[in-house]
Amino acid sequence: MTDTTKTIAVDLDDTLNNFTETLLKTDFAYDERFSVTRPVFDEYLKRVRSGAAEDEDLLSTEYSFFRTKIHLECYRRATARPDAVAFMQWLRREHWRIVICTHRDLRVAYPRTKAWLDENGIPFDWIFRAGNKIVFCRLWGIPTLIDDNFFPIEYGGRYGVNVFYPIHDHNRTLGGDRVGDGARGFTTFDEVKSWMQR
């Protein structure tokens, strides 16, 4: 049986990088490659920035295609957190198995995701897409997850997954640096490193 005590799952967007800031602040230039008119471009961009879901039951629409293009551009432009890069490199030196666990649609985003990780010197062993990261970690026997999303923060401890989360505006209301069982907020990855060394 494989020892999973030194396996960790780590989220990408707004955990290792500044995806939301990039999405909100980038001046995306209108281009005919988006295959929409300028007014539609402006409306769709506004919707993507607000996090609007698809209005239709179809799996692929003009809007979902547009959103994918914008997200792919953000994946390329997002800046890695220097403390996150140092932390991930420390994990590698300490012989941790590193699973990048993301909500990204890897059918289209895998090449760009892998390139970004390589360009930023972020080591990893596997990249997986997971809608429910707590279930993913439980099924694969991964005891630790680093993720900024509310669901794993709130429910990880209940299901035996220790969750560390970067404190952002969208999760700050969860109660400081500790939430429930097994979730702990941090401002720098140095804090996580010190907790893991105890």
127/136 Cα distance (integer angstroms): 12
Domain match, 87 and 73 both = no
Say which residues have a Cβ less than 8 Å from residue 146's Cβ, sequence separation at least 6: 8, 9, 10, 11, 15, 163, 164, 165, 166, 192
Residues 120, 56 share a domain: no
Tokens standing for residue 14: 């707004």
Please report the pLDDT score of residue 80 as a whole number. 98
Q: What is the pLDDT of residues 111-127, one digit of tens each?
A: 999 999 999 999 999 99
pLDDT at residue 53, rounded to an integer: 79
Amino acid (one-letter) located at 96:
W
Say if 99 falls within a structural domain: yes
Number of domains composing the chain:
2
Q: According to the model, what pLDDT value does residue 54 have?
A: 73
66 within a domain of the structure (yes/no): yes
Could you say which of 77, 105, 124 is where a domain stops? Answer: 77
Return the closest-CA partner of residue 19 out of 86, 64, 84: 84
* pLDDT, position 58: 62
pLDDT, average across residues 35-64: 87
**Do 96 and 73 belong together in one domain?**
no
Select from 77, 93, 110 the last residue of a domain.
77
Q: Quick check: 127 and 110 in contact, CB under 8 A?
A: yes
How far, in Å, CA of 146 to CA of 46, rounded? 29
Q: Is residue 2 part of a domain?
A: no
Q: Which residue is associated with the tokens 């140095």?
A: 190
**Domain contains 177:** yes
Q: Give pTM, 2 decimals.
A: 0.89
Is 1 within the bounds of a domain? Answer: no
53 and 137 part of one domain: no
Q: Answer yes or no: do 158 and 68 share one domain.
A: no
Output the domain CATH number for residue 179: 3.40.50.1000
pLDDT greater than 60 at residue 71? yes
Over the stretch 122-159, which tens digit does the pLDDT of each residue have?
Answer: 999 999 999 999 999 999 999 999 999 989 998 998 99
One domain, residues 122 and 157 = yes
The structure tokens listed for 80 are 């890695």
Contact 10, 88 (CB under 8 A): yes
Burial class (CB in 10 A: 0-12, 13-18, 19+), 130: buried
Q: Tell me, yes or no, whether 147 and 175 share the same domain.
A: yes
- As a whole number, mean pLDDT of residues 27-56 equals 90
Rounded to an integer, the average pLDDT of 22-36 is 92
**For range 182-193, the mean pLDDT:** 92
For residue 154, is it within any domain?
A: yes
Examine the fold and report which residue of 77, 108, 126 is the final residue of a domain before the chain moves on. Answer: 77
> Alpha helix locations (H) across 51-155?
62-77, 82-93, 106-119, 133-140, 150-155
Same domain, 59 and 98: no
pLDDT tops 80 at residue 81 = yes
Judged on CB neighbours under 10 Å (0-12, 13-18, 19+), 172 is exposed
Residues 41 and 125 grouped into a single domain: no
The alpha carbon dihedral of 182, 188, 73, 171 has a sign of: positive
Residue ranges making up the domain that contains 46: 20-77
Predicted confidence band of residue 177 (pLDDT cuts 50, 70, 90): very low
